């Protein structure tokens, strides 16, 4: 008796079954930048990231359990990962038409103290020097439209683009801060891989797609 081969049913597998025209239409609805020039694999990754952000914005925030893997992340990064984006303070960039100053743009760092301004300078310096990880380069769009934010509860500071992709300093370079699509676990890629065996299958497939 022939044994049927198990068919992959994860989010990536479902997207890969679509043709490029269907993927581009979906990317357009999700307002993904530069979708028209992306290859299929990169387009699928961008769609998965956008869908994860969209679902997260609709889902109620749940409290994080104090599991061993979560404790490892807290110890390594110094704050619960679900608090990074809680009440972020984002500087507004606006045009003001003052006499003799037409077209001048201002970045207003409201709520930033001396420490926050110093960390913002470090983030912007790393970004301007191109010190970004591979994932950061693949998913973060800029330099136009980016903002600097910080969480006044955790003290975490980050860069965010118009699609709400987040970059944080991992100690060596700017790294993409990830949210998994199923369980909404947050952290850097290496942190999430430490808890890989504890994650749902869809989250594991999602992390595998980022390799």
Q: Rounded to an integer, what distance in angstroms lies between the CA atom of residue 70 and that of residue 79?
A: 10
Residue closest to 120 by CA, chosen among 95, 146, 141, 142: 146
Residue 70 binned pLDDT confidence (cut-offs 50, 70, 90): very low
Alpha-carbon distance of 59 to 160, in angstroms, equals 20
Whole-angstrom CA distances from 64 to 56, 74, 82, 134, 192 are: 14, 11, 8, 28, 14
Task: Measure the CA–CA gap between 132 and 175, rounded to whole angstroms.
Answer: 6
Q: In the predicted model, what is the mean pLDDT of residues 89-101?
A: 49
What pLDDT, on a 0 to 100 scale, did the predictor assign at position 174?
A: 95
Dist CA 181 CA 186 (whole Å) = 10
Strands 105-108 and 157-160: unpaired
Nearest-angstrom CA–CA distance, 148 and 78? 20
The pTM assigned to this predicted structure is 0.53
**What whole-number percentage of the chain has pLDDT above 70?**
72
The predicted-structure confidence for 155-174, as pLDDT tens digits, reads as follows 789 999 888 889 999 988 99
Q: Parse the chain into domains and list their residue ranges.
A: 11-58, 68-209
Task: Return the exposure string of 94-117: e unless at least 16 CB atoms fall within 10 Å of the residue's CB, then b.
Answer: eeeeeeeeeeeeeeebeebeeebe
> Do residues 142 and 148 make contact, with C-beta atoms less than 8 angstroms apart?
no
């Amino acid at each position: 008796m022939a044994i049927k081969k198990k068919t992959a049913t994860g989010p990536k597998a479902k997207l890969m079954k679509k043709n490029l025209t269907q993927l581009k239409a979906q990317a357009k609805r999700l307002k993904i930048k530069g979708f028209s020039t992306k290859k299929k694999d990169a387009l699928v990754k961008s769609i998965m990231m956008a869908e994860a952000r969209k679902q997260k914005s609709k889902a109620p925030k749940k409290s994080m359990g104090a599991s061993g893997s979560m404790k490892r992340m807290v110890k390594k990064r110094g704050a619960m990962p679900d608090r990074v984006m809680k009440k972020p303070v984002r500087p507004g960039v606006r045009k003001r038409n003052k006499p003799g100053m037409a077209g001048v743009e201002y970045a207003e760092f409201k709520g930033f103290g001396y420490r926050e301004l110093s960390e913002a300078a470090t983030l912007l310096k790393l970004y301007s020097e191109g010190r970004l990880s591979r994932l950061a380069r693949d998913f973060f769009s800029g330099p136009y439209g980016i903002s600097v934010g910080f969480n006044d509860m955790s003290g975490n500071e980050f860069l965010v683009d118009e699609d709400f992709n987040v970059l944080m300093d991992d100690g060596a370079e700017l790294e993409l801060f990830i949210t998994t699509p199923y369980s909404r676990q947050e952290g850097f890629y290496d942190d999430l891989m430490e808890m890989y065996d504890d994650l749902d299958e869809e989250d594991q497939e999602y992390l595998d797609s980022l390799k």
